[in-house]
Structure 1
Amino acid sequence: MAPRHGHHLRVISYNVHGLRDDLAALHHAIKDLAPDVLLLQEAPRRLRWRHKCAALAHSLGLVVAAGGQPALGNLILVDLRVTVKDSGAMRFPHTPGRHLRGAAFVRGLVAGAPFNAVASHLGTDPAERPGHARLLAEAIAERSDPVLLGVDINEEPGGPSWQALLTGRLRDPAGAQPAAPTFPAGRPSRRIDAVLVDERLTVDSYAVVDTPAVRQASDHLPVVADLQF
């Protein structure tokens, strides 16, 4: 990939399935896409999670900005073009018997321009998911700088969780022509992953990546957005 300069940013959202699939294919796919900001779901969150997150970042030529266990497996990695100013995590209210869910947050700068990056993974339970989406939307609304949200919504466009996330200043870059499905990677049929983008940012391109490597790397396909401020 050609290097990006100035106020251009490549953002990827990717559910990496707990790193349980073909790691060589995963590394190849991500390094070939050369993200500036990598928003991961189902990253390491349990035993030795710090070491595993750091090793993943190192293998990709990136650094850990936020996430891991405190963000319940949501992880944000960045390249050295990005200056991290602060970071944090949130956890959504827990429904007994369901997985804990949450989000990772980073406030950063690229070429002096501020932005917020958020990675989140909503639940599979349709009863709890819209409430979590509303809490996430409220947390995003509190941030004054432009926001990039990489999210596994676990729901197809038009559902209540999408509506909750898109009621503020975020928009779906796919627009009127829906992007390709993202899940399951072997035979994609559902679009449940997205990069949602602040209305103040320009989207140069937006795509779901479907190659032999990414079909081996995870049960989800990655979403890539090229943005400028």
Structure 2
Amino acid sequence: MRDDTAALARVIRACAPDVVCVQEAPRFFRWRKYASRLAMATGLQYVTGGATASGPMVLASLRPYVERTADVLLPRTPGLHQRGLATAELRFGESARLGVLSFHLSLRDAERYEQGGALLSRLRGLGPYAVAAGDVNERPKGRTFQRLAAELQDGWATAPWGAEYTSEPGRPHQRIDAVFATRGVEVLGCGVPRGLAGVTAQDLRAATDHLPVLSALRIPPA
């Protein structure tokens, strides 16, 4: 959200999501105001995160009922950015529940690996049907990415759709962002969307410093 927020809103609206996981939401002065503005611009509602999770944030459409939320600050290595997790438990209809976790892991390998373990631990507490989406800051062969993929479904690897690479928008050459789902969730498709209505290539480059990842999921009733 440090780039062109109007372009970001156009990209999000074109994806027509039920849930959005943001990685770099405002964290400082009037951060709630900026989060609310993005939610309104995209026809979504603010759910949790932002400054309280040191960046990760969750937005959602009016379809799910928000049952509970929790933001977690992870142990911080002196000299490095504070990192956190934004989590929510959502209910779709009468009984389909989905745990959601938005994350942005460290640039440092050792810290990132520990954060991956904390992510998995937190996700286990969100129920059998849960999804974690965010910036791994590592390619799929990295040990933290592999740690997550060993326990969860890597959306792109499970049901590839669209394009693979998420960074950088002007010259995509690596996949360091991902959507992970627990085994009970059916991944119908996952990848960088192509040909979004009303969205130009310039919008994608201006919206954020990474390309969006869109995933279609099927959640069984509880």
Q: Tell me the TM-score normalised to structure 2 length.
A: 0.90
Aligned-residue RMSD, C-alpha: 1.6
Paired residue for 1:157, among 140, 145, 151? Answer: 140
Distance 1:50 1:59 in 2: 14
SS of the residue aligned with 1:66? strand
Higher helix proportion (structure 1 or 2): 2
Paired residue for 1:136, among 107, 119, 129? Answer: 119
- Unaligned 5+ segments in structure 1 are 1-18
- Which amino acid letter does the alignment assign opposite residue 214 of structure 1? L
Give the equivalent residue in structure 2 for 1:125.
108
Distance 1:35 1:176 in 2: 20
- Which amino acid letter does the alignment assign opposite residue 218 of structure 1? T
Verify the 8 A CA contact 1:184 1:219 in the aligned structure 2: yes
Deviations 1:95-151 (A, max 9, x none): 111100111000010122111010000011112110111111111122323111111
Give the equivalent residue in structure 2 for 1:7.
none
Q: After alignment, is 179-188 or 62-71 more displaced?
A: 179-188
- Unaligned 5+ segments in structure 2 are 195-199
Matching of residue 187 in structure 1 with residue 177 in structure 2 = no
Distance 2:182 2:26 in 1: 28
Aligned length: 210
Paired residue for 1:214, among 204, 210, 219? Answer: 204
Give the equivalent residue in structure 2 for 1:77.
59
Give the equivalent residue in structure 1 for 2:89.
107
Matched residues, percent identical? 37
| Alignment CA distance shift 1:25-1:123 (3 Å) | same
Distance 1:166 1:176 in 2: 10
Q: After alignment, is 208-217 or 81-90 more displaced?
A: 208-217
Give the equivalent residue in structure 2 for 1:9.
none
Verify the 8 A CA contact 1:137 1:164 in the aligned structure 2: no
Structure 1 runs (4+) greater than 6 angstroms displaced: none
Offset, 1:167: 3.2
Matching of residue 51 in structure 1 with residue 41 in structure 2 = no
Distance 1:189 1:93 in 2: 31
Verify the 8 A CA contact 2:49 2:86 in the aligned structure 1: yes
Q: Tell me the TM-score normalised to structure 1 length.
A: 0.87
Higher strand proportion (structure 1 or 2): 1
- Which amino acid letter does the alignment assign opposite residue 49 of structure 2? G
